[in-house]
Amino acid sequence: MTKELPADPHVAVVATAGGVEDGPLTMADGTSLKSAMARAQFRARLRAFLLVLPLLAFVVITFIMPIGELLKRSVYSPNFHDNMPNLVAWFAKHPPGTEPDESAYAALVADLRLLKKTKKAGLVGTRVNYELPGSRSLFTKGARKAKKLEPPYREALLKLDPKWGDPALWQVMRAAASPYTMNFYLAALDLKRDPSGKIVPVEENRRIYKMLFARTLALSLLITFLTLILAYPIAHLLATLPLSKSNLLMILVLLPFWTSLLVRTTSWMVLLQSQGVINDALVALGIIGDDGRIQMMYNKTGTVIAMTHILLPFMVLPLYSVMRTINPSYVRAARNLGATSWTAFRRIYFPQTVPGIGAGALLVFILAVGYYITPALVGGSDGTLISNLIAFHIQKSLNWSLAAALAALLLTGILILYWLYDKLVGIDNLKLG
């Protein structure tokens, strides 16, 4: 803010009353007006800032710091590093590319014995398993049998399981020896490092994340488009009706807005089930047979229908507030000058609503991309979005770092859109009801 107004108008009055005619203006007590004003302004700014400070500190602690912790998690995975000290030391001493020799295997066996004692074999195995599936059991079995192993350790381990000699395994272990890694971001983009350290795409049948990101984008765009199609006519109606009537109709828009998300999702489950209201009605009307009930839930259709309904108010409200300000005489003038109603709409009315379309579409898209609850309940397997996979990795597969990396990628996209929204629309113009 660079408003140069004096915060306290009295300052100027005092200065002129001081009776100084030449030279720099001074206050009654002799200090220069300029510095007195700067001081007063500084105090005013400080006062305003101090009012905001408690909340800012609160949000930093309860929101920004957790997000920071999430970003750290996405590159930080210390389980291997913390529990395999001997092997980590060996990796530190020998540069990448060194063939693992007997000393390396000795370090590995020492660590496996340690794992047996600390009972952390599962954690370490899981960490390696993220990048080399099928190797978790290698570590749990190795730790169990490590006590009986005798030198030479290389032969003993290879006899236990020939997989211990796999160069890929050693490469993954070397990568895991450092607690910081970018590999979770690679995994989140369906990429991996090949044995030579080059970044390559993973096998065709293991690519899921890019597809999910693409599906999230595609469904969000579709939902944004559908909300626009549905919101435009009713926003126009609300904006052109007299206020007493439009206020009543507005309740129909605001009630869903105020109703619990879970309630709205439940309602859609009730309606869309194959034994639900819509299917029953269609059967009763004879449009479909009893055996031809349409599967509208636990797939993409369910997600799209329910989310379109849930996000519709977020499109109607910005459109309405823009349409309300459009002067109806422009369209009348166009008609007067011979335009058909379609031309008048296309050339005169529609261009004036574009700011509202932009604001609503951006808001709906931002909200849709990160949606979790509705897809989780009605999405089934092919209607889930990227958020659901993040939850899956936190709650089920326990691959927290991968979840964090996926979340960080999603967050980056959202923040870019948020910045765009602030630039184009301004957060100040966000209105609720």
Partner 1 sequence: MALPNYASPLERIWHYTYLVICALIFLFLIAPILVVIPLSFNAEPYFTFTPKMLALDPEGYSLRWYDKLLTFGMIDPDAPRDLAWWADVWENSKWVNAAKNSFIIGIFATILATGFGTLAALGLSRPEMPFRRAIMAILISPMIVPIIITATGLFFFYSKIQISHWGIPYLGIILAHATLGIPFVIITVTATLVGFDHSLNRAAANLGADPRTTFFRVTMPLILPGVISGALFAFVTSFDEVVVVLFVGALDEQTIPRQMWNGIREQISPAILAVATILVIVSIALLTTVELLRRRSERLRGVSPR
Considering the complex, state which of residue 214 and residue 263 has its C-beta at the smaller distance from partner 1: 263
Q: Which of 17, 38, 48, 288 binds partner 1 (CB under 8 A)?
A: 48
Which tokens hold the place of 206?
């293991």
Site string for partner 1, 404-433 (x = CB under 8 A): x--x--xx--x---x--xx----xx-xxxx
Cis ω for the linkage preceding 167 (within 30 of 0): no
- Which of the ranges 11-19, 144-152, 198-206, 270-278 carries the binding residues for partner 1, by CB under 8 A? 270-278
3-class state of residue 228 by DSSP:
helix
Q: In Å, how far are 1, 226, 270, 280, 301 from 273, measured between CA atoms?
A: 55, 22, 6, 9, 12
Residue 315 interacting with partner 1 (CB under 8 A): no
161/280 with CB nearer partner 1: 280
Nearer to partner 1 by C-beta: 200 or 248? 248
Which residue stretch of 67-75, 139-147, 288-296, 347-355 sits at the interface with partner 1 (rule: CB under 8 A)?
67-75
Q: Segment near partner 1 (CB under 8 A), from 68-76, 145-153, 159-167, 349-357?
A: 68-76
Size of the site for partner 1 (CB under 8 A): 94
Q: How far apart are CA 363 and CA 130, in angstroms?
A: 36
Q: Residues near 358 by Cβ (< 8 Å), separated by ≥ 6?
A: 424, 425
Residue 88 beta carbon to partner 1: minimum distance, rounded to whole angstroms: 23
Residues 166-185: x where in contact with partner 1 by CB under 8 A, - otherwise, as a string: --------------------
Bridge partners for 76 per DSSP: 180
Nearest to 393 by CA among 380, 383, 379, 405: 405
- Give backbone dihedrals phi and psi of 192, rounded to 5 degrees, phi first: -155, 170
Instruction: Give every CB contact of residue 269 below 8 A, 6+ residues apart in sequence.
Output: 276, 297, 377, 378
* Contacts of partner 1 in 325-384 (CB under 8 A): 335, 341, 366, 369-373, 377
Q: Which is nearer to partner 1, 200 or 263 (CB)?
A: 263
Pull the structure tokens for residue 123. Answer: 């954690």
Q: Of these, 17, 38, 67, 288, which contacts partner 1 (CB under 8 A)? A: 67
Q: Give the whole-angstrom CA distance, residue 33 versus residue 12.
A: 8
Q: Any alpha helices (H) in 198-324, and if so which ranges? A: 209-240, 243-258, 261-272, 277-284, 300-323
The closest alpha carbon to 202, from 191, 211, 212, belongs to: 191
Residues 229-268 that bind partner 1 (CB under 8 A): 230, 233-234, 237, 240-241, 243, 249, 251-256, 258-268
In the bound state with partner 1, the residue whose beta carbon lies nearer, of 94 and 276, is 276
Residue placing its CB nearer to partner 1 in the complex, 173 or 271: 271
Residue selected from 14, 193, 280, 293 as contacting partner 1 according to rule CB under 8 A: 280
